[in-house]
Amino acid sequence: MKSMIFKMLVAASCLGVANSASAEITSPECIAPARPGGGFDLTCRIAQMGLKGQFEDPIQVIYMPGGIGAVAFNLFNTKRTSDSNAIVAFSSGSLLNIATGKFGKFDENDVRFVATAGADFGAVIVPVKSKYQTLSDLMDDFKTDPGKIVVGAGGSVGSQDWMKGALLLKSVGSDPRDMRYVAFDGGGEAISALLGGSIEVYMGDVGEMAPHLEAGTMRVLAVMSGERLPAPFDVFPTAIELGYDAEWTIMRGFYMGNDVPEEDFQTWATAFAESYKTDEFKKIRKEKGLMPLELHGADMDKKVKELIVKLRGIAIEAGLIEQ
- Packing angle, helices 297-317 and 262-276, rounded to 10: 90
Q: Among 11-15, 172-176, 222-226, 230-234, which stretch is predicted with the lowest mean pLDDT?
A: 11-15
- pLDDT at residue 7 is higher than 70: no
Greatest alpha-carbon span in the chain = 61
Please answer whether residues 272 and 296 qualify as being in contact, where contact means their C-beta atoms are separated by less than 8 angstroms.
Answer: yes
Superfamily of domain 29-119+249-317: Bordetella uptake gene, domain 1 (3.40.190.150)
Give this prediction's pTM.
Answer: 0.73
Q: Which are the contacts of 289, defined by CB distance < 8 A and separation ≥ 6?
A: 120, 207
Q: Is 222 helix (H, G, I), strand (E, B) or coil?
A: strand
Decide: 254 and 69 in contact? Cβ < 8 Å: no
All CATH 3.40.190.10 domain ranges of the chain, comma separated, are 121-235
**Neighbouring C-beta atoms of residue 259, cutoff 10 Å:** 15
Would you give the distance in Å from CA 283 to the centre of its chain?
A: 20
Closest of 128, 145, 158, 138 to residue 244, by C-alpha: 138
Which residues of the chain does CATH 3.40.190.150 include?
29-119+249-317
Distance CA 89, CA 68 (A): 11
What is the CA 266 to chain-centroid distance, rounded?
A: 22
Which pLDDT tens digit goes with each residue over 236-282?
Answer: 999 999 999 999 988 999 999 999 999 999 999 999 999 999 999 99
3-state secondary structure (DSSP) of residue 88: strand
Span 149-197, pLDDT tens digits: 999 988 778 888 898 999 999 999 999 889 999 988 777 888 999 999 9
Is the CATH code 3.40.190.10 the one for domain 121-235?
Answer: yes
The beta strands (E) that lie in 9-75 are given as 29-32, 60-63
* Backbone angle region of 158, left / alpha / beta, with phi > 0 → left and psi within -120 to 50 → alpha: left
pLDDT category at 310 given cuts 50, 70, 90 is: confident
Q: How far apart are CA 271 and CA 250, in angstroms?
A: 22
Cis upstream peptide for 232 (omega within 30°):
yes
Over the chain, what is the mean pLDDT? 88
Q: Dihedral of the CA atoms 313, 319, 322, 323 (nearest 10)?
A: 30
Cα separation, 77 vs 82, in Å, equals 9
Contact indicator for 153, 187 with CB cutoff of 8 Å? yes
Residue range 18-56, pLDDT digits in tens: 333 444 789 999 999 988 887 889 999 999 999 998 999
**Which residue, among 31, 12, 85, has the nearest Cα to 55 in the 3D structure?**
85
| Radius of gyration for the alpha carbons in the chain, expressed in angstroms and rounded | 20
